[in-house]
Structure 1
Amino acid sequence: MFEAAQKRIAASGHRLLLTSDEIADESETPDRQCKLCSGFSNENLFTLRGVRTLICIDCTSDITNGFPEIIRNKQFDHACDALNWHFTGIPRDQLVATTRQFPGHMRADVQVAVDRLFSASPLRLFGIYEQHRYETLTFAGLTREGRDASAIAPAQYHDVDVGEDALVKCLNNGLWLCQDKDLRYAVVLSSHREYGYEARTRIEIAVPVGAAGAQFVQRCFAELEGAVNAARSYRGKVLSLDSDNEYRGRSRGIMVHKLPPVQREDVILPAATIKLLDRNVLNFVGSRAQLRRLGQSTRKGILLYGPPGTGKTHTIRYLASNLPDHTTLIITAAQISMLAQYMSLARLLQPAMVVIEDVDLIARDRDDMGPCEESMLNGLLNEMDGLKQDADILFVLTTNRPEQLEGALASRPGRIDQAIEVPLPDSVGRTKLVQLYGRGLPLGDAVVEEAAQRTKGVSAAFIKEMMRRIAQASIARDGGTTVEPGDIGEALDDMLFAGGKLNVKLLGGAKEMAVG
């Protein structure tokens, strides 16, 4: 009777909760009985510790559903323990690690790619305590045990500004334990540091020996390299490289300059100067594809020269605002030792405009140079001369003293393709500048005309400062609702006479004003 009841219960699919049989030894468990719940099943035969064991579908489901929680909550004190757990059953000599290093200033693009590849659904992510700053974290080093074992630590992030509303959170170091189908792998992100040099971002992927692991690693690195080459975080922006606090000229990262766009109507230059800019820069860039098809070089050198304060930097901002899809790199004379890094970045982000301000400070007569300065000048000449692979790079150099430029830069064709003078404003230019810098003020025609007449021979920077002082006088009198001719006289008196000759020179006044 009991056997008949067992059969009917089994046939109905219910579990047998009571039995009159003796509890069998593990090795004698009936083949059709689940090891865990004693229900009947013909599926899911596992080998556990060398013993073939039957586990029903319901119990298998309960076990697998609990795996993520078990994995997520398992605690480790050291990286070696986590790696031993992750690669259980795989001897260390059956693991292989492959490394790539990327420029430290590209860490934002590397981080975005790493997040997409490994951070979406890792089994675990750990931060690692770095005991020695100049010891690079490696996969082999993380497997060390005993007193030299690397401790697990909270993940530490550094916010990187890429010129967008949201900062990119870059991990200082990290260990990912991941699985792709049946392939278990680990990823180590760290910094490779050498004293006095820019730190490089290092990615290491460890997988079991075999073709599947090797192919997986190559796919990952191909995507990482593609992300860095695309450089989406910085492309099309105005950039410069940060120097370290000890002024060695070594790059620490990229600074994004958030400059307001400059439109054509905001550039107050003579018509001939505007025409030269359009023809040699904007039109040139627009015809690059056709030039390349005809076998012509697509790099170009432009020299902007003129007295201080005439608008050379403003002109560069105009070009940066109106060059489609171009990245602008701004190099000051103090950073010329970083030229090689700037040029590597320019080739990566091309089409690019490379701006070297006050080039006369480094490209002066060789007789006045030391060996280090001459080496930097030679580097600049080689880059502009096209000794390296041709690229879509536009060089724009500025100087206040063109007569002091070194002959090899100023005289040889192919380095400077066009010199463009940015002169002191004429009468028409001064009128436009007064209107431009005073557009928030209630300026009458008489005031504009007088201001233009009384500023003959001054720079654009002088007029900009004069209009600010006129605004101050207007505010002090009636809250900025009126501008009187006397405001012009008051501003010019402070700028030209009260401050002495030095003040006239500093503000960009006319030479006759300083003499008088």
Structure 2
Amino acid sequence: MWPYVAGFIGGLLAAGMAAAGESYWRRRRRTKWIPQELQRFFRVKDSSRLQVLQKSFPRHMAPDAKRGLDQWLAEQGLAARLVGVPITESFINTTGLSALMAPQGESWYQVSSVEYESFDVGGDAPMECPKHALWLLDGGDAKLALFWTYGTHRVGCNWVERLRIEAGFVMDSPGSGLADQVLARLEEAVHSGHAYRGQVLSLGGEDDYRGNASGVTVHRLRPVARQEIILPEPTLALLERNVVRFAEQRPRLRKFGMSTRKGLLFYGPPGTGKTHSIHYLINVLQGHTTLLITAEQIGSITEYMTLARLLEPCLVVIEDVDLIARRRDESGVGEQCLLNRLLNEMDGLRPDSAITFVLTTNRPDALEAALAARPGRIDQAIEFPLPDAAGREQLIKLYASGASIAPEVVASAVRQTEAVSASFIKELMRRAVQFHLECRPDAESAIILQNDVDQAIEEMLWSGGPLNRALLGAGEGREQP
């Protein structure tokens, strides 16, 4: 009996496998494969008759490339079909049009939906760009396939992600003219830098919890008005003459053969307004792009300077430059290499470049002489001192913000805050309001009283010890009354 059962089961399995195989081949025949689509589109049997031209751009310039492509397509009025290419791995991706047409590609690349990713370009809405997509553009005798893809490639010691756009056409066909036109338009669009011009940017792959693609971070800084800059009048005048008015006079300086690049060093104790003043400059320098570079990103200075030249006029800010520009007898080999890259980029700027470097440090005495003492790199050093009595009075009134404070309380606070930083006074006002609200939880308004200020000063200057005073910018050498 068992032989009959086994034979019966074997027959069922064979029939099932035959049916499954037939179903598989029916599905495969119905599947639209990209190689076959390209062959039908160009009316060729393989890629041997295709010629492919390509352009490669930094990945973060995809929004400008996409804008340029959209404009070109609208102008040409070509019959266009857009399909997705299911490339699942962009790392060291070398897939091109020729590979898409190769027979072995049928196992991997079938026509699919187009995937998009969002690029933050400032404003309210991100820019949507395809990940891996193929345009089939039909102008009658002029046929063009445009392949948009990304890949990570080794450049020197770094891995760099690039946007690669390939234009394919049949040799000696009118499609070659379309290829030249579209690639030229894409290059022009990228060089315009429209998407990022006038913004505050940083390079890098920071986490973006809004779901945008990494590569460029667009910072949305709170605008700082001139009345919020509390500095000695000579310092403020020096700042505005060497940055704001210098930028305004660039065209006339260039006309008379003067250099239009600029290098400034902001120095002073922590919390004295260096970063705050930079935010003011960003706000007032209309039409300028700002690049914010941390010391840890100096290794990417070449990429930053390429972007700065593209987006001129540009303000390049490097905060805490002493972290990589310490005296050579105090720094390691790695720091010296980073410093040399920075110096080479500063020296390599054209005299007529519309680029302003602003470097900041809390330790000017520790800076390498090649940066701080060589003419032509730093044109002006600007000291940001601790606020004097008049400055402290202005800061107290500014940072009291929506709370009221009597003149006699202001005068007392000024006397008790000698040799403190602006950031200390900002925290003092917040702490005083907090003490006030703790005693009056139902208050609809805040009036900072003398007791509120006294409690805040006690906590900030004495309760936390010397370390707390140093962290808050209260200076050294204080004795508790």
Could you state the TM-score of these two structures normalised by the residue count of structure 2? 0.86
Structure 2 counterpart of 1:126, one-letter code: V
Choose which of 233, 243, 250 in structure 2 pairs with 1:281. Answer: 243
Instruction: State whether structure 2 residue 35 is matched by structure 1 residue 80.
Output: yes
> Per the alignment, do residues 423 and 235 of structure 1 end up closer, same or farther by CA in structure 2, a change over 3 Å counting?
same
* Structure 1 residue 131, shift from structure 2 partner: 4.8
Q: Give RMSD over aligned pairs.
A: 2.2
* Structure 1 residue 500, shift from structure 2 partner: 1.2
CA distance in 2, matches of 1:274, 1:75: 73
What is the aligned partner in structure 2 of residue 171 from structure 1?
A: 130
Do the aligned partners of 2:205 and 2:216 also contact (CA within 8 Å) in 1? Answer: no
What is the aligned partner in structure 1 of residue 465 from structure 2?
A: 500
Choose which of 456, 461, 478 in structure 1 pairs with 2:423. Answer: 461
Choose which of 136, 139, 148 in structure 1 pairs with 2:94. Answer: 136
Structure 2 counterpart of 1:338, one-letter code: S
* Structure 1 residue 389, shift from structure 2 partner: 6.8
CA distance in 1, matches of 2:78, 2:177: 20
CA distance in 2, matches of 1:226, 1:514: 65
Structure 2 counterpart of 1:307, one-letter code: P
> Per the alignment, do residues 299 and 82 of structure 1 end up closer, same or farther by CA in structure 2, a change over 3 Å counting?
same
CA distance in 2, matches of 1:132, 1:463: 52
% same residue: 43
Instruction: State whether structure 2 residue 267 is matched by structure 1 residue 305.
Output: yes
* Structure 1 residue 385, shift from structure 2 partner: 2.5
Structure 2 counterpart of 1:96, one-letter code: Q
- With 83-92 and 293-302 compared, the bigger mean Cα shift is at 83-92
> Per the alignment, do residues 390 and 380 of structure 1 end up closer, same or farther by CA in structure 2, a change over 3 Å counting?
farther
Instruction: State whether structure 2 residue 179 is matched by structure 1 residue 217.
Output: yes
Q: Deviations over 1:248-289 (max 9, x none)?
A: xxx961101100111111100000001101111111111111
What is the aligned partner in structure 2 of residue 3 from structure 1?
A: none
> Per the alignment, do residues 122 and 501 of structure 1 end up closer, same or farther by CA in structure 2, a change over 3 Å counting?
farther
CA distance in 2, matches of 1:281, 1:384: 17
> Per the alignment, do residues 390 and 378 of structure 1 end up closer, same or farther by CA in structure 2, a change over 3 Å counting?
farther
What is the aligned partner in structure 2 of residue 33 from structure 1?
A: none
SS in 1 for 2:275: helix
| Gap runs ≥5 in structure 2 | 1-28, 208-212
What is the aligned partner in structure 2 of residue 145 from structure 1?
A: 103
- With 152-161 and 228-237 compared, the bigger mean Cα shift is at 152-161
CA distance in 2, matches of 1:101, 1:231: 15
Do the aligned partners of 1:261 and 1:321 also contact (CA within 8 Å) in 2? Answer: yes
Choose which of 95, 99, 103 in structure 1 pairs with 2:50. Answer: 95
What is the aligned partner in structure 2 of residue 53 from structure 1?
A: none
Choose which of 108, 133, 139 in structure 1 pairs with 2:63. Answer: 108
CA distance in 1, matches of 2:394, 2:377: 34
- With 212-221 and 146-155 compared, the bigger mean Cα shift is at 146-155
Structure 1 counterpart of 2:95, one-letter code: L
What is the aligned partner in structure 1 of residue 223 from structure 2?
A: 261
Do the aligned partners of 1:95 and 1:209 also contact (CA within 8 Å) in 2? Answer: yes
Pairwise mapping of residues 317-328 of structure 1 onto structure 2 (< 5 A)?
317-328=279-290
- With 383-392 and 487-496 compared, the bigger mean Cα shift is at 383-392
- With 218-227 and 90-99 compared, the bigger mean Cα shift is at 90-99
Q: Deviations over 1:429-466 (max 9, x none)?
A: 11111111112101221222222221111001100111
CA distance in 1, matches of 2:471, 2:79: 60
CA distance in 1, matches of 2:81, 2:134: 8
* Structure 1 residue 320, shift from structure 2 partner: 0.8
Structure 2 counterpart of 1:81, one-letter code: Q
SS in 2 for 1:367: coil
Choose which of 65, 80, 93 in structure 2 pairs with 1:123. Answer: 80
* Structure 1 residue 149, shift from structure 2 partner: 4.4
Choose which of 187, 193, 206 in structure 1 pairs with 2:146. Answer: 187
CA distance in 2, matches of 1:289, 1:329: 22
Q: Deviations over 1:322-381 (max 9, x none)?
A: 112111111111111111011000000000011111111111111233333222211211
What is the aligned partner in structure 2 of residue 349 from structure 1?
A: 311
Q: Deviations over 1:267-320 (max 9, x none)?
A: 000000011011111111111111111111110110000000001000111111
Do the aligned partners of 2:413 and 2:453 also contact (CA within 8 Å) in 1? Answer: yes
CA distance in 2, matches of 1:494, 1:87: 78
CA distance in 1, matches of 2:271, 2:393: 17
CA distance in 1, matches of 2:73, 2:166: 12
- Of structures 1 and 2, the one scoring higher in RCO (CA 8 A, sep 6+) is 2
- Count of aligned pairs between the two proteins: 438
* Structure 1 residue 194, shift from structure 2 partner: 2.0
CA distance in 2, matches of 1:177, 1:337: 40
> Per the alignment, do residues 369 and 121 of structure 1 end up closer, same or farther by CA in structure 2, a change over 3 Å counting?
same
Could you state the TM-score of these two structures normalised by the residue count of structure 1? 0.80
* Structure 1 residue 148, shift from structure 2 partner: 4.2
